[in-house]
Structure 1
Amino acid sequence: MKILFFVGEFPKLSQTFILNQMTGLIDAGHDVWILAKKAESNGKVHDDVLKYHLMDKVIYYDQNGRDSKLSKGWGLSKGLCRHYIHKLLKKNYIRNVHLKDLLKYPNLILLIQTLRKLDLTDVDIVHAHFGPNGLLAQKLMQLGLLHGKLYTTFHGYDMLRYVKKHGDSVYEELFQSKHTQLPISEYWKNRCEQLGAKSKHTIVHHMGIDVGKFEYCPAVQEKEIRVLSVARFVEKKGIEYGISAVSQLIDQGYSIQYSIVGGGPLEEKLRTMIQEKHLEKHIHMLGWKTQNELIDIMKKAHIILLPSVTSQDGDMEGIPVLLMEAMAMGKIVVSTYHSGIPELIRHNDNGFLVEERDVEGLVRTLQIVITTPENWQRITENARKTVLEDFNIERLNNQLIDLFKGNYSK
């Protein structure tokens, strides 16, 4: 099969879950292509991007990668002019494009300009990641610029912030079509159906990891406990609550080294928290790391901490891939009752969960973990088993292929 992935940014360090699907489908003998708006700006890429020569398979529809409101407005204005010039000249005009579509989907004109130069009539599957890309893909199919069956994976923000901005009916046309929706958890499946998705066309398909890349190396008891968080520094990741909890434990005399990998808009706020609490010797911000660099860091960790929260604007997680990776490696995971995370972590069975924004609960839970190392083996063995059985990318990709071929039944 020829499969076209429709994404926003590629390559993108934080989206290993999409990369794992791409490489798995290539390994299974399928022809994978990528339609993306732009590349991530930090310049780091995963090794698999190079190993699989994926940059040779990318079609960018915004070569300039401009994000400012001014440039978007200018791009739309130029696009509208070109659109109506083509109409008047009856040259390369796509008759089904209407002004309301161009206003509703600012990226549509860039996509039309790009795809009209290409021949994608031999595509069997279009796999859009995130709802807005699914909407664009459907519109391009209506215009005859994309072909094949459309599958849209919903991850989280596309069911919340995007809906809040554009209204509860924003996905109505997509949801009423025969195209298939692939929410990544039962939590988001329920949300899709609340917004009008048909149950018969809505299938939970988890994101997963290549378990073979994550050696089972459970930490042994030591005097100093190493805690690790990996996240984009935005509100929903809850890193400030992790810092507060670790700070209290250090004040109580626990020997802890807390490493934080990532970056983002809240970085200065988090650094200020650490400085004000005089924790520079205990809490270290390491910046972004590639997957191999991160694996080396995780091998040395005892506890992986991700205290996710619902942000003030309603943004939420999906099921963080980091937690799957940590569980596969035999690490103790501590997270929150948030979004689809309880579908991965069962409290006191394969990890630990606390309520959102509950710093005291985090402190108590971390105390329990640190002081009961006799429970670590049971919990970490259960954790790896969970990932092997339910979040194993090899199994999940086989399910995805069956789905694309029409051999999958709910």
Structure 2
Amino acid sequence: MTVAVIVKGWPRLSETFIAQEILGLERRGLRQLIVSLRRPTDKAVHTLNRRIGAAVTYLPEYLHEEPARMLRALTAAYQLPGWRSARAAWMADLRRDPSRNRVRRFGQACVLAAELPSDVTWLHAHFLHTPASVARYAALLTGLPWSFSAHAKDIWTSPDWEKRKKLTDAHWGVTCTALGHAHLQALAPEPGRVELLYHGLDFARFPDPPAGRPARDGSDAADPVVLLSIGRAVEKKGFDLLIDALAQLPAGLHWCWVHVGDGNRLAALKAQAERHGLSDRIEWLGAKAQDTVLAQYRRADLFVLPCRTAHDGDRDGLPNVLMEAQSQALACLSTRTAAVPELIEHGCTGWLVEPEDSAGLATALESLIRDPAGRVALGTAGETRVRRDFGCEAGIDWLHARFAGVTGLITATSLKPG
């Protein structure tokens, strides 16, 4: 079989978990076609993405930009046996969501259905929002089965009515956190429609952690403690809270903060740091490929990710960067939000504070900066846990078997850490 894997953009620096899964399935012999709703915007590309041999096709990002292609697609889609049911489903959705985005997704689905190679026998969407909309409409048009992987923003910012429709129409789905699984299963038409499947890490891509880290404790201005954060500059990452917390640290405590990532709030974060007089203690590296990111994990003393729930409901799932940091025995400081506590046990495999609490974050930062031995203990325990319980291989094996139609599978939920 060939599976058409529908993604929002390809390739993306922030979505190594998708590339890891596609490559893993490819290595197990599954043929895939990557279908992207958008063209790439990142300047760099991970080596991981370059290893994937699957062909990539790009749907029209804006329908008016490719009028001839759209006309051919609509003409072909109109001839398909599923046209009436697909159009009816789309019109029902459009009445509840009368947006250009909704029109665009149906147009993209028509292009996909019209241009789909004859050997494609399954559609699989990464993310339950727009990619799943395209997959659902295209499946109705073609009569093909479809499935989905749900992650974070797509779960928490999509309306319940739409999630119910997709959960009803999809043959099955997976999601990567227990929190998301409970939410989706409550909306599903029957038990077992959604499975919990942690995406984990391919540890073959990550070397053993450094033999040791300098015992920095913030007392030496010439050798400050290196704090590291990796993530897009968006509300849910909480980097504004981190800057406020850094401003509360004692003047005689020596540290530097390294941020890797881009995002629409980057300029605002830099201005906030300038107002606090912290600019000379911060390195803004921008978005980077995996080899650069790995070097930063190995250089740092403490990884900090103060996640929160954004005003629109968006929140993290289980951030890959926390697992990656732990793979390098790097102590992690995060918050009790989203699925972070599914990975980090407070005081044992990392440190957790309450979200939105910059004062509590500052207290934790000061304590961990001054305690290199404590950081080592947390990092060592975190590495042991993540390498034991959060590998990707079992989950990719499960997906491969599911796509191949193997019966008698163990349930994905049995693969969760225990």
TM-score by length of 1: 0.87
2: distance between equivalents of 1:374 and 1:94?
63
Q: Is 1:159 the equivalent of 2:121?
A: no
Partner of 1:389: 388
Q: How far did residue 94 of structure 1 move?
A: 5.9
Partner of 2:410: 409
Q: How far did residue 121 of structure 1 move?
A: 4.3
2: distance between equivalents of 1:356 and 1:295?
27
Partner of 1:373: 372
Question: CA 1:172 to 1:285, structure 2 compared with 1: closer, same or farther past 3 Å?
Answer: same
Aligned partner letter, 1:18: I
Q: How far did residue 172 of structure 1 move?
A: 2.3
1:345–1:351 contact (8 Å) kept in structure 2: yes
1:128–1:152 contact (8 Å) kept in structure 2: yes
Q: Is 1:213 the equivalent of 2:213?
A: no
* Percent pairwise identity: 23
Which residues in structure 2 correspond to 1:29-178 (within 5 Å)?
29-54=29-54, 57-62=55-60, 65-66=61-62, 74=64, 95-96=83-84, 97-98=86-87, 101=90, 104=94, 105-106=102-103, 107-123=105-121, 125-132=122-129, 133-144=131-142, 147-148=144-145, 150-163=146-159, 168-177=160-169
2: distance between equivalents of 1:307 and 1:41?
26
- Of 114-123 and 284-293, more deviation after overlay is shown by 114-123
Instruction: Give the secondary structure class of the aligned counterpart of 2:333.
Output: strand
Q: How far did residue 100 of structure 1 move?
A: 5.9
Partner of 2:99: none
**Deviation by residue 1:73-110 (Cα, 9 ceiling, x = unmatched):** x57999998788779xx867863242661673422223
Q: Is 1:339 the equivalent of 2:338?
A: yes
Partner of 1:198: 190
1:335–1:354 contact (8 Å) kept in structure 2: yes
Instruction: Give the secondary structure class of the aligned counterpart of 2:162.
Output: coil
Partner of 2:306: 307
2: distance between equivalents of 1:58 and 1:80?
19
Gaps of 5+ in 1: 67-71
Q: How many residues align?
A: 390
**Deviation by residue 1:365-397 (Cα, 9 ceiling, x = unmatched):** 122222332233332222112221222122321
Q: How far did residue 235 of structure 1 move?
A: 0.4
Partner of 1:25: 25
- Of 204-213 and 343-352, more deviation after overlay is shown by 204-213
2: distance between equivalents of 1:44 and 1:270?
23
Q: How far did residue 191 of structure 1 move?
A: 1.2
2:199–2:392 contact (8 Å) kept in structure 1: yes
Q: How far did residue 12 of structure 1 move?
A: 0.7
**Deviation by residue 1:331-378 (Cα, 9 ceiling, x = unmatched):** 011111111110011101110111101111111112222233223333
1:206–1:396 contact (8 Å) kept in structure 2: yes
2:178–2:339 contact (8 Å) kept in structure 1: yes
Q: How far did residue 25 of structure 1 move?
A: 1.2
Question: CA 1:86 to 1:139, structure 2 compared with 1: closer, same or farther past 3 Å?
Answer: closer
Partner of 1:69: none
**Deviation by residue 1:156-208 (Cα, 9 ceiling, x = unmatched):** 21222222xxxx21122322246112121110011112333532211101122
1:79–1:110 contact (8 Å) kept in structure 2: no
Question: CA 1:94 to 1:353, structure 2 compared with 1: closer, same or farther past 3 Å?
Answer: same
Which residues in structure 2 correspond to 1:313-324 (within 5 Å)?
313-324=312-323
Aligned partner letter, 1:101: W
2:245–2:361 contact (8 Å) kept in structure 1: yes
1: distance between equivalents of 2:396 and 2:187?
27
1: distance between equivalents of 2:113 and 2:206?
39
Question: CA 1:397 to 1:162, structure 2 compared with 1: closer, same or farther past 3 Å?
Answer: same
Q: How far did residue 226 of structure 1 move?
A: 0.2
Instruction: Give the secondary structure class of the aligned counterpart of 1:200.
Output: coil
Partner of 2:228: 228
TM-score by length of 2: 0.85
Q: Is 1:187 the equivalent of 2:179?
A: yes
Question: CA 1:337 to 1:301, structure 2 compared with 1: closer, same or farther past 3 Å?
Answer: same
Question: CA 1:313 to 1:375, structure 2 compared with 1: closer, same or farther past 3 Å?
Answer: same
Question: CA 1:47 to 1:190, structure 2 compared with 1: closer, same or farther past 3 Å?
Answer: same
2: distance between equivalents of 1:117 and 1:316?
35
Aligned partner letter, 1:14: S
**Deviation by residue 1:268-301 (Cα, 9 ceiling, x = unmatched):** 1101011112212201211110011111122100
Partner of 2:268: 269
